[in-house]
Every structure is written in C-alpha cells, then in structure tokens.
Amino acid sequence: MASPKWLNGVAAGLLLSGLLSLTGCAGFSSRGHSSSQTTADFSVTVNPASVTVAKGGSASLGTTISAVGNFAGTVQLAITGAPAGVTTALTSNSVNGSGQLTLSVAASNSASAGSYTLTLWGASGSLSHSATIGVTVSTTTVNPDFTFSASPTSQTIAIGQSTSFVIAAAAENGFTGNISLSASGLPAGMTASFNPSAINSSGSSTLSISTNNSVAPGTYTLTLSGANGSLSHSQTVGVTVTQNNPPPDFSISASPGAQTITAGNSTSFTISVGAIGGFSGVVGLLESGMPAGMTVGCSPSSITGSGNCTLTVSTSSSTAAGTYTLNITGTSGTLTHSTSIAITVNAVVLPADFTLSASPSSQSVVAGKSTAITTTVAAQNGFTGSVTLTASGLPSGITASFAPASITTSGSSTLTLTSTNTTVAGTYTLTISGKSGSLSHTTNASLVVTEASVALNVLMPPGTTANYWYKDYPTYLFNNPTVNGATIAIEWAGSDQGPSAGSGQYDWTYPDAQIQAWVQAGKKVNFVVWANADDGSTTCGPESQYGSNNTGNCGIPTYVWTALGASNATTCMTQFGMQQMPNYLASAFQTNYRAFMAAMIQHYKNNASVGYIRFGLGHGGESMPVANWNDTTAACGQAYVTSWGLTISGWESYLSGMLNYEGSLNSPIQLMVGVTPMGNPGSTVPDYAAPIAVQNHIGFGSQGLELSDVNNCAGATADWCELFAQYSPQVPTELQTYMQSCPDNSCTTGSLVDLIPFAVANHVTVFEIYWQDWMVAFDPNFPGYYPAYAPVLNAAAEQ
C-alpha cells in the first residue's frame, strides 16, 4: 500500500492515538517482506581540488564519476558557484555508470581577483552527490596566446619526391581566432602547402613539401610560421634533398611527448607516420610498456602511406602511481620504426565519506505501538564529520525519533517509530537520510503496520460537566477501557474576545477545563467547534462567554456580529428556535473564523492528549448553513437565497475555500469535518466536499447514523457508506449517531445493537456515541439501563 498523502509531515505525538481504520467485513491483512541488497550509488571527485587561474588564463582539472555497488545509471552533471568573469566547461554533461571527464576553468580579464568555491553536482534519480573546487583568481593578467610546433624537425627526400611535417598549435590563456600558416626559406624547385591552410585556435595541419627535378641537392632550413594579428610564432625545420632517390621508408613520431593524468582518467596523443622515398605501404602500430590497469589503443590501428592516428591511454583507479615510458612501434614488412611517449599517473585521492545502513531492513508494528530500527554510520577515507539523521516517507500517525540524532565519525543510532491507533494498516517504505555538509546518503527500510482496535468516543455537548450524572463518569466512563476518550463540543465565542484584547484575544480557559478530567484519566480528547451555535439560548453561559445575549446564537463572538453588521445577519426560525444567523460568505465571518482556527491549532499543537479538532463550517458542528436554508417563504431562506444569493454551488465554493485554508495550516493535530447532505440528491455536497478534505489530509464523517441506514446503505444520509469505502484507507472516518439511541428500535436512531456492527463493517475509524447511551450501557443507576449494549461496544473496540 502506498503511503497515504494525508499522513505526510505530521509532528510526533500529536495525532489521535485512538483513531484507527477498521477491517470490519473487508477482511484485509498485510504481510511484510524483508530484503537485503547492496545499495547502488556513485561518487563524484575532482583532482586537484583547487587551482589558481590568472586573469585571461585557464586551468584543467580531472573529474571522476565512480559507480558504487551495481550502480549503472546516468549521472547528470552541473557546476554552480562560478563568480562573474569565471567560466567552466566539462567535456560532457553526463556519464553512464563510471567515467572520467576534464573540467576547464577560465578567468576573463574582467574577473575579480580572489578565492572562490565552485560545486560540481552529480544527480541520478533520487541520488545526488557533489564535490567542491577551490578556484583562486590571481591578480596577474595574462594575454591570450598560442603555442606553435612542427614535427619532425627534419626530413630527407630525394629530388622529385615529397615529404611532410605536422604543424600543431594550441590556444593559451583564452586565445581564440584563426592562425594563418606560412613557410619561408624554400629553394627554387621546392613548394610547400598546408592542409588545412589555417588552424582555428587549436589543432594541427599537415605541411606537404614537394620537389621537382630543378631543385639543387642540399640541406635547407625552412622557417614555418603561425600568425594571428600581432601574435606570431615560428619554428625551423630541416629538409635534406639528396641526389639519388632513397629507398621507400616511413617515419614515426608522437605529439605531445608527455602527459600527466590521475588514475582512473584517460588522455590522448597524436601518432604521425610520414612517407619517405615514395613509401605507400601499410604501417601496423603496436603499443608496449603499459603497467597493470592501463590500456592503450590507436585509432586507426594502421596507416597507409602517411597520416595520423589518435592514441588513447586509459587508466583504472587501480593503476599504480608513477611515470611510465610507452613505446609505439610501426611495422611494414621488414621496415620497423618506433617512438616513445612518457605518461605520469598520479594516485587517486579518495574524498572522506561515510556509508549508511539500517537493520533490520524490514520491521513490523501494531497500530498504537512502537518499534525500532538500528541505523549505522561507517566512516570512509578518514571521514570525521558529524552525520545528522532524518526519516521520511512516514505514514500518518507514525512519528520517528533518533537516539542520538547525529553520529560523529562512526556509530549507531536507534530509530524509534511510534504509531497511533489511526495509522492505516499497510506496508510503507521509509527513507533514512544522513547528511554531513555537502555529503548525503540514504537507505531504505520497510515498515509493516497491522491494525488495532476502533476508537469509541463519548460525545459531550457544551455544559455536560454540570449535569447531574457527571458524578457517575469516573466509575463508568473514565475507568472504562472500552471508552477511548471524549469528543467535547465548544463554541467559538467561548474563547475569542476579539482583537481589542490584544495579545489576550484568545482565552482557552473554558476548553482547557473541559478536557482536564479526561486527560487525568489517560483518555484522548477531541474538539467539535460550533462556529454557529445550534441552540436558542437567550443568556450566554461560560461555554460562550464572549457571545451576545438575547440573540439566540451565543456561538459567534460579539465583535464578529458587530463586524458583520445588519446587512450580513438575519433573525429567523431554525430547528432550534428563533436565532440570529450570519452570512457565512461575508469576509467578516470567514476572516475572523480562520484566525480562530489558526490560534486554536497553535494552542493545542503540543498537547499529546488532543486527538483531533472538527471545525464546524455551518450550523453547529456540521457543514450546512441551517435547516431549510432555501425555503424562501421563511425568513431564513429569504436572507440566504434572496438577499445573499446563496446556492448549492456557492456553498460548495465556501466549503472548498475553508477546507483548503485548514489544509494550508499544516496542522500537527488531525483535523476533521462533518459532511452534511444538501440539495437534491442529498449526496451532492458531501460528494463534493469529501475529496477536497482528503486532499488536505482532513478526515471526515457524518452526524446522521440512524436505523434506516442499516438496510439502505446506498441511500444513507450524506452518502457516507460510499464515501467511507472510497477514502477510509487515506484519512480517519467518523460517525455520530443521529440522536440518542433507543434499545427497542422505536426511535429514528434505533438501537446500538444494530448500528454499531453495521458502522464497523463500513470502515468507521471513530464512533462518537452520546454520553447518555454510554450510561445506558454501563451505569445500572441510569434511567433505561440496558446491559445488552455493553458487549456490543466491547466487541467493536476489539475489532
């Protein structure tokens, strides 16, 4: 099962430990599988680690991408951190598996002198590594220039024959431009031609020397020149013209004569074969003198008459450091000539690093319990840094803690994974990360979560602590193991004094007092916030101490009524009596209520006893404006529809905005919403609101479970049967009975004997039951005591 989206980022210890998915009749089970394999990875190194570049100059560094384990992916490369005037270039921007590249660093004349740190990044999928490069731009300014050479330095030909030289030019200090080639000092009867006639920045050209029968025998010194503007370089070569034609032969030479590389990298030379005396044979080339770990090959491997081949020298990381002389021998029949090159191999300097592993690679936990995984850090290549450990991919309801949270050099840490009863059963892949500076490694572990019991909560309306039967709570509720906790209704106006109170605007005295007894009993507590009280009281009690008396609606703070004004308030008959009702679409209502939401989450975010908060978005704790809101023959409908233009789609837009706002708060406490049927069919609004709640990791539920639902699930209020089946694996789901039950099934709600097993079978995570029904089930002194309820409740809690 994939990790549920709504679980990501929930802080430790703040979700409802009592909320868990029910298997019901679904019959799901989950089974973990463990595996062990070498982690595929790669490393990035640069040698040398720092260079000094003069203004207008450049430097080259060797770059190595090395595979770790069975890594064979493509590593994309990029360089960051170069200051203005400093440019970088790689011979390739990607490497498959392993490989070596050359990194060029150039400084323009406008570059600022100083020391800079560049970063070479390598990325492949979720893997990422980097290496830092120190670049010092010196105050010295060098001018662009080029080198110029000819090979060989002398040739011998017979009168009427031809020979050739290889002209090589190499750009220095950022030189760019065409280098025009010329030859002087040629005697009569001797001609010279270059192919190509000019070299662009760097490269080579073949100088062909031809003679006719009029040339006089002798040795001639030719001056070969390369020029670009005011820049000019030259080299002399000797051409000896003999009286008699020499026998056909060939010459062999190498350019350059020496190179230096770091083990694991490659370099190349140019091998030139020149024809003498009309030689036109095939010269086969053979290399010798290579140490272990070095391979050499010329392309092409043979040359007809005259020409060049590119000799590639490749080393492995195991090639021993040292200077080696390699021989390149050309053979054509009985003719044999050779040349040599020198190559210096520098040892690979491996960067300090560390490895990360987890044991066991798969672990199981029962929802509501804890388990542990050992994370081990091992130093490599002299690593002495501090590695900070983190875990990601945690399902909702799982918190992770490392002891210790960081490891210096090498060692182990215990990763403790603590689940709540709301954690959805399934198999999850956890990613354990270790980071030390720019170094970062990850390892994976599998966590198998198995199901726990359903959470059964006592539903407590405001003021319940003052009722007569509260004295029996310690005996039959606080100490009852079947009771998971209490869902306590509070009113917005009980805690919000308004902005005029300054920093003391929000007063949490009343809700804090309501939950205290349950917290002391070790139970979870949840809140249902009535933004709009569903009562017709005239005098506001302590649960709505900052509300307005004689409005029939104490739930909304007085300052909000003032902000709404007469145009956004109406007094009409609701199902709870004559009440003052707000225009929910007005900014004065939404802005102040949203601020209250954020403040309540902030106040309770570190209270581990709080399981969830259900913010009512309409009348009471639900998401409907008011009963008969669209009856325009009555005062409520005239206000909502005629005056304020409320429609089903407009209400859906309001719910969407409020739910998205709740999601944006990234609450560490689980948030819930009651989905209430509206319109025709009654599933219209719930079907719209539930997916939006799930996208924001908000659980949802229905306040309407009744006897008729048992035999008509498809037509149940709020369409909750279908919605629970679709979304219960992703978020907590909650049911509240329509009203207090009746054991004889004579009322609309019906008997808990029928309702509870039905709800469990339909994916309910949390069941909220009126406090009176709990007393009917367990308190022999309570009117209507019905002991048959107790085993049904106990059985549900053990599902």
Asked if residues 605 and 669 have their Cβ atoms less than 8 Å apart, the reply is yes
Of 315, 346, 377, the domain-final residue: 346
Please give the share of the chain, as a percent, with pLDDT higher than 90.
68
| CATH code, domain with 627 | 3.20.20.80
SS3 annotation, 614-633 = EECCCCECCCCCCCCCCCCC
Structure tokens at 371: 């388990």
Judge whether 351 lies within some domain.
Answer: no
Q: Residues 384-397: what's their mean pLDDT?
A: 93
Which pTM value belongs to this model? 0.49
Tens-digit pLDDT profile for residues 146-194 = 999 999 999 998 888 899 999 999 988 778 899 999 999 999 999 999 9
Is 272 in the same domain as 416? no
Q: What is the mean pLDDT of residues 122-147?
A: 89
Rg over CA atoms, the chain = 42
317 neighbors 273 (Cβ within 8 angstroms): no
Specify if 182 maps to a domain: yes
Examine residue 352 and state whether it is found in any structural domain, yes or no: no
E strand map for 256-334: 258-262, 266-276, 282-288, 294-299, 302-304, 307-315, 322-332
Q: Taking 50 as the threshold, does the pLDDT of residue 27 lie above it?
A: no
Find the CATH number of the domain harbouring 135.
2.60.40.10
The answer to whether residue 515 is domain-embedded is yes
Instruction: Report the share of the chain in percent with pLDDT over 70.
Output: 92
Domain closes at, from 141, 175, 190: 141
- Calculate the alpha carbon distances from 675 to 430, 610, 680 in Å: 33, 22, 15
- Can you give the pLDDT at residue 327? 95
Q: Which of 5-19, 30-44, 778-792 has the lowest mean pLDDT?
A: 5-19
| One domain, residues 89 and 172 | no
Query: Which one, of 337, 317, 313, lies nearest residue 325 by Cα?
Result: 313
Q: Band of the pLDDT at 698, cuts 50, 70, 90?
A: very high
Residue 29, judged by CB atoms within 10 A of its CB (0-12, 13-18, 19+), counts as exposed
Residues 633 and 677 reside in one and the same domain: yes
What rounded mean pLDDT belongs to the chain? 88
Query: With 60 as the cut, is the pLDDT of residue 4 above it?
Result: no
Are residues 70 and 29 both part of a single domain?
Answer: no
Q: Are 142 and 57 in contact (CB under 8 A)?
A: yes
**What does the pLDDT look like over 574-598, one tens digit per residue?**
988 999 999 999 999 999 999 999 9
- Domain count of the fold of the chain: 4
Query: Do 240 and 179 share a domain, yes or no?
Result: yes
The reply to whether omega before 780 is within 30° of 0 (cis) is no
Mean pLDDT of 365-370: 70
- In sequence order, what are the residues at sequence separation of 6 or more whose Cβ sits closer than 8 angstroms to the Cβ of residue 675? 623, 685, 686, 689, 690, 693, 700, 701, 702, 718, 720, 723
Beta strands 524-530 and 282-288 are unpaired
Query: Would residue 46 count as lying in a domain?
Result: yes
- For residue 405, the domain's CATH number is 2.60.40.2310
In-domain check, residue 615: yes
Query: What confidence tens digit (pLDDT) does each residue in 740-787 have?
Result: 999 999 999 999 999 988 888 877 888 898 999 999 999 999 999 999
Instruction: Say if residue 35's pLDDT is above 50.
Output: no
Tens of pLDDT, residue by residue over 272-282, are 999 988 899 99
Last residue of a domain, one of 141, 171, 192: 141
Q: What is the pLDDT of residues 447-466, one digit of tens each?
A: 988 655 567 778 777 766 77
pLDDT tens by residue, 523-545:
999 999 999 988 888 899 999 99
Same domain, 137 and 159: no
Beta strands in 108-177 (DSSP E): 114-124, 127-141, 145-151, 154-158, 162-172
Question: Are both 409 and 319 inside the same structural domain?
Answer: no
pLDDT at 23: 28
Q: Report whether pLDDT(563) > 80.
A: yes
Please tell me which residue, 657 or 29, carries the higher pLDDT value: 657
Element spanning 678, H or E: none
Where is average pLDDT lowest: 18-22, 561-565, 740-744, 748-752?
18-22
The answer to whether residue 261 sits within a structural domain is yes
Q: Are residues 460 and 538 in the same domain?
A: yes
pLDDT at 421: 58
Give yes or no: residues 600 and 692 share one domain: yes
Pair (536, 432) in one structural domain: no
- Residue 354 domain flag: no
> Both 211 and 300 in a single domain?
yes
Residue 136 shares a structural domain with residue 151: no
| Full residue range of the structural domain in which residue 689 is found | 455-797
